[in-house]
Structure 1
């Protein structure tokens, strides 16, 4: 073939190839390549894996951003660097809060000028909001140490901080007036004082702080182009002992009255976790911190908060595992009520998941149909104890987990990013999944 005809043929082939429609999954993400940037109309749900606690970063369809938890465990704890705990991802060159910041800056609509419109702390345990520890770096003002949410807030502006008990912190007892109370967390009081100092300092810079309002559908809302996406909303379900009833913004108190002098009458910190759902047309996503659902020997009936929450939430498309899938959570009623197509486990411990939890998640006797499981970490200890059920049950055992919901909420993909590399290339793409139809 003459050279000039070869060039014309090649040019024609390129034009045809360029005009060909790529598979939808290739447009969403391609293994080996960077994750394509968020686009307006998408709902992106990033489950960030540092190995040292939970952190989820949400980008709403109009570009409003929300951080749900920013965990950083105490490096001086006895199990911190043992096989019981996950290693830092991608490596130990930065602290957990710094890796969360790096991740957010990569995926945020505003990149290096990123802001966090809402940051919510599910409850006051170190793997969800950070632990004070000796030697933690000081803030620029010297008023607080950087760990978890205080480190993230130092480096990325937070416009509104939400937690379960601002500003009094008096449920189930006054944390501020009872410095000698012990919650089970190392350095709990110093951690809480550090958190209070952070809030005070950031309020001077313009950050708002509010108590998370159970039942509200307006406290967390789109800030930029809300009218363009009327099918999206955030439903606050639970805070402390208040649980949404499913009617308007009404709530009901679940826990019995607390005797401040009797710690046995206090709900656990896990049981006080915030719960919310993200809703986009037919799509619903559930997350609930460390809520528990299994009443153990000697425990009170109200230790099961999963059952009343599941009753009001109903079916969902995606559910994160309460308490990382630990043995005291993800009870039978929740599993058969939620019936999710996708389960997401944010894990850092050899306790995640419990073997009996995994049985409940996978059995067809609780609900029929396929379901896909994804976890940010799976430790060797779990594989040794649980055995081949782990490999048979999970679609992905390691990596950042991204849910990308397409405009309107009818379809979504689950995308796994390589958490061993700072550039976070795509490892795998699953979907499209069809959202459930709802009235």
Structure 2
């Protein structure tokens, strides 16, 4: 039985294959194709959507890890390497990715395939840093993705092939000073806050009047990492403020508004100065389900206010904050931020609680502002919503017909999104 991180997606594949190298991937794909089976790479299981659900053959790339080469401002890494592992290996060479995610567990191939992003208004997502990709297509042949197909392949949802190696642009390592403080919602929604920093985001609880703002800027100071014990204590306290509130709110739902206001106060103020990946990357303590939407940047403030109002009007018991981030326009044809500066809004539901009411509400409210769903998060979209939202969809589907004509890499969720 395969289960994703949150426990919300699970499957019982007929076989699980764990290749040790690209030749093993090619053999697994050829074998599945010859038997008329579908095969899906499962990555780290960090996606909340059914993208990785494999009903026939699951392809576990956890052994396909490590650096291939570093040089010339680029790093080539095997697909199953986690984002956190890559950050550590680059740090040993005084290098870093320009984009820093907030979770360390996704595989590099998974982060590229789903459009995983950070919160930097002028720095693109992990997939935007891609300078080369190697993949195995539906026939079992391996290829280096040609330049004219790169923008299709950088956020391809695993529909074009199995990525075996990723080449990414790197830069010299850099130090960030990260700060957090409570701020009024109107202040954090303004461009004066979200666009003024190297990295910025905020969390706002339904029923609370203030937001918890977190921002970071590049500095020339030397890293000053906290002790491992202090870092763990800070993470546990922050998680407990949310997770404990979720547990109590599920027991006594009428307390949710008061709990949310208290959680915002408890998270308080503070700062830290360290290498970028040590400041921003973390491993979650509390488990949840998530839906995230990419809005045109100009629609972000109205979308957030309307979603908060709708949660209050429907009296939903939401123990997690909305998380709001920003990013630039992306080149990936199916990236949710394709072609436009973007504001990201994520909604969360405690693991074990039905996520559909919040997912549907986010889809209704944020979809009305031209929002597009993050492919790794929960959403109700089908190809009927996809087609008008993505101007390069027909080009992508034509390439899919060439790279996987027999649909070796599909599953029911992809059939719904892209057609059979």
TM-score normalized with structure 1 length: 0.28
Greater share of strand residues, 1 or 2?
Answer: 2
Q: Which structure's CA Rg is the greater one?
A: 1
Q: Which has the higher helix share?
A: 2
Q: TM-score, normalised by structure 2?
A: 0.29
Larger relative contact order (C-alpha < 8 A, sep ≥ 6)? Answer: 2
